[in-house]
Structure 1
């Protein structure tokens, strides 16, 4: 499984907006320049966060984006779902019923495929782990690792 870059960009953008503080929206150009990201592609990710209720989009010349919720109420799963969607990672094609093996099988196919059940269990564990981590907790770890990040973000965004 591989997540798109949009997930990383979305998490960092949400953290950067929290470090920026205040209610004033930050322009997508400013957010993109903060990490040298393509503006149009970042904007697409941010629109997905708006649809998911994680960001607010403010129109106009002084518009941009601002958090719609506190970081303590946003989980990593919220961000992954907003960017990647909620489709299961594994899609069972029921190949156990196909080909010469399927023709020779005397099994009852009314129960779920053991491969699918195992993959579903693993995905639930992964999703549960993402749901158990809020962006507030991620921010605390980031602040511990790089205590000056908030100051750097405000300076980069022209807020200090």
Structure 2
């Protein structure tokens, strides 16, 4: 039987998606999530509720595309509000610098150089702040785990899909300014 809900079976003990995620977040990330929650609660939800009410007042809901679309969108927004409210309660905000700012810890901006001489600038953040365009990686990734506790000029070996790769830490800083 084929269907959209059919997936291949994965052993839960070995599935990386089942691994517990850390509940750390930077102060900026927490503020961004609170801003999204505030916008959804104060602006988007009331506007959609109004649209659903107006569409429902037109009569037959079974053939009313405006009602159906806005109702689905309202339910999606309510689910997102519920998720963000619960998630913000679970998160631990890290808003201070570590005692030793020369070592890599949560929130660090790290400049790396690989064996080929190419540089890579990353930031170690929480799971809710991942941004591939900015090269912000989760603290739960193998790269971040290998970097934690290391300092400038240390060499770090990281397991990648194409094999083990070695990086040298060029710089560790805790502010975005270079």
Return the TM-score normalized by structure 2.
Answer: 0.27
Q: Of Structure 1 and Structure 2, which has the larger fraction of its residues in helix?
A: 1
More strand by share: 2
> If you compute each CA radius of gyration, which structure gives the higher value, 1 or 2?
2
